[in-house]
Structure 1
Amino acid sequence: MSSPSSRLADLRKSYERAELSEEASHADPLRQFEQWLGEAIAAEIPEPNAMTLATVGSDLRPSTRIVLIKGYDERGIVWYTNYQSRKGRELAGNPFAALQFHWVELERVVRIEGTVEKTEEDESDAYFASRPLDSRIGAWASPQSEPIPSRAVLVTNAAKYSAQFLLNPPRPPHWGGFRLVPHQWEFWQGRKSRLHDRLRYSREDDDWLRERLAP
């Protein structure tokens, strides 16, 4: 029986679901993103709100992880996390980051690059208050990205903060929102024969330059 690695070279997929043309796309990348996100949600694909976040630390080594988009508008893309986590520390030292959505079932990818800033305190407070109680306790219980001897540490911490805060845990000072302010967007639509459609939007003053990239 062949190993998985020996079969990798034979894995192929023909992309034939849709196309992305300049004429049919929006001049504003946020509107294009809104359309594609809405179509991903309507298609009921698994976790259409999941996105890969790439950051770079002071050692110049990149790292990625999956986070969930919790809002977007003309200001940028928002998610929430522990500010003391690896991504939080890396963003504190280097605010440049990239996001990527991969909607496999629709044969689409959206890439977004820009600078990251913290959301306002009241915005983070409002979102934290909307989270399920277990998630709010979890924000206190987990020293995210830090080594722990066992899962028992998390269970013990959760019990401690549950007893301390009961049904009203406040937002931890080390937890809140980030907003990526886009400088560049790219929309990728898979096409047959690997001749994929790629449209890039680059910020120029108060407008967006749209151009096609070779696949």
Structure 2
Amino acid sequence: MKRKEVLKMELNRLQQFFQDVKVCRLPLNPALVVQGIEADIGDDLRQDMLVLQIIRVIDNIWLQEGLDMQMIIYRCLSTGKGQGLVQMVPDATTLAKIHRESGLIGPLKENTIKKWFRHHHRLESSYQEAIRNFFHSCAGWCVVTFILGVCDRHNDNIMLTNAGHMFHIDFGRFLGHAQTFGSIRRLVYIVIHTINRL
């Protein structure tokens, strides 16, 4: 109970801080100015920060070789056990939400993601660019998540931006540390399944 009280007190202090100063520089990226925070409780960001740093190195190698995989690698800063900062990616939503919005059988429909892209891109050129962004970023994330053995992939851990960039979140399990269902390991299949549905 004491932990919750301390958390509530600190969140109130942060809210008061933003009421007083209005804006401040973001520690994750001082070029950005923030007006407030959205608290999420329960994640240990140390592992996420490590995985994202490794992915950033891989993406830099690709870019040096002239291979732009359209990767969105958000910033993450752990400031201690159970605390830290995560950059919000604007205009992004989870695959789970996209599927829910398309109805009860949304995940089973052949063209759910295609319709979602069409909704955000009325012009054919814009739509085609979003599709290219999706394929490039999807390929890039498939490679890095495979190399790092990222597990626990499901539609709530995979996000899409309106511009078509796909990216992963929540790296609580990697290096092959997979969850099991009975004696069966959960495997990554969602991303490949999603590609087939386009």
Instruction: Report the TM-score range of the alignment, normalised by the length of the smaller protein.
Output: under 0.3
Q: Would you tell me which structure has more strand in proportion to its own residues?
A: 1
TM-score (norm 1): 0.22
Larger radius of gyration: 1
